[in-house]
Amino acid sequence: MKSNSKENRRNVRLDLAQPLKVTMGSIGSEMRYEMKTSNLSVNGFFLAFASPGRFPFTPASIMEVWLELENDKPIFFNGKMARVVYADDRSQQGQGPGIAIKIVQIESQYEQMLEKFISEKFQESQKTLQTAS
């Protein structure tokens, strides 16, 4: 796991060694899509997606999202597409194609669970880096 840093980024973004299960659907729809993410922050996550043009949602879609943290701890929030990255997008070197999902509405208890998870994983990665050097 590593943390990416950019000067303008306020929050830690994690690249997890073990991907997390993500279940998404349109509000009110019974159709659900199961995916995985390894790139996560308190603001959202990135779905590696070989053909992002075939993503089953539009930029205007508000989605119901269940993100499964460790030990079957799902958190629920509403999300929206923030960015589509195509394979030929040279500005996103190293990231690869996919879809960035922004959290637009989350209950405080789930937000706290997400913040705690990210903080713990970031601290673990820092300890691993210190041990390795």
Answer yes or no: is 38 within a domain.
Answer: yes
87 half-sphere exposure, CB direction, 13 A CA radius: 6
Answer yes or no: is 133 within a domain.
Answer: no
CATH of the domain at 11: 2.40.10.220
CB-CB neighbours of 28 under 10 Å:
6
Could you give the number of structural domains in the chain? 1
Answer yes or no: is 132 within a domain.
Answer: no
Alpha helices in the chain (DSSP H): 108-132
Widest CA span in the chain? 50
Give the pLDDT of residue 10: 56
| Residues of the domain holding 123 | 2-127
Give the pLDDT of residue 3: 41
List Cα–Cα distances, 25 to 56, 61, 89, in angstroms: 9, 10, 27
Digits of tens for pLDDT over the chain (133 positions)?
Answer: 444 444 334 578 888 889 999 999 998 889 999 999 999 999 999 998 877 667 778 888 899 999 999 777 799 999 999 988 888 776 665 678 888 999 999 999 999 999 999 999 888 888 776 776 5
Answer yes or no: is 118 within a domain.
Answer: yes
Answer yes or no: is 19 within a domain.
Answer: yes
pTM (global) more than 0.85: no
Sign of the four-CA dihedral 80, 13, 39, 117: negative
Give the pLDDT of residue 62: 93
Give the pLDDT of residue 8: 38
Answer yes or no: is 21 within a domain.
Answer: yes
Answer yes or no: is 78 within a domain.
Answer: yes
- For residue 122, the 8-state DSSP code is H
Give the pLDDT of residue 5: 41
Answer yes or no: is 83 within a domain.
Answer: yes
Q: How far apart are CA 39 and CA 30, in angstroms?
A: 26
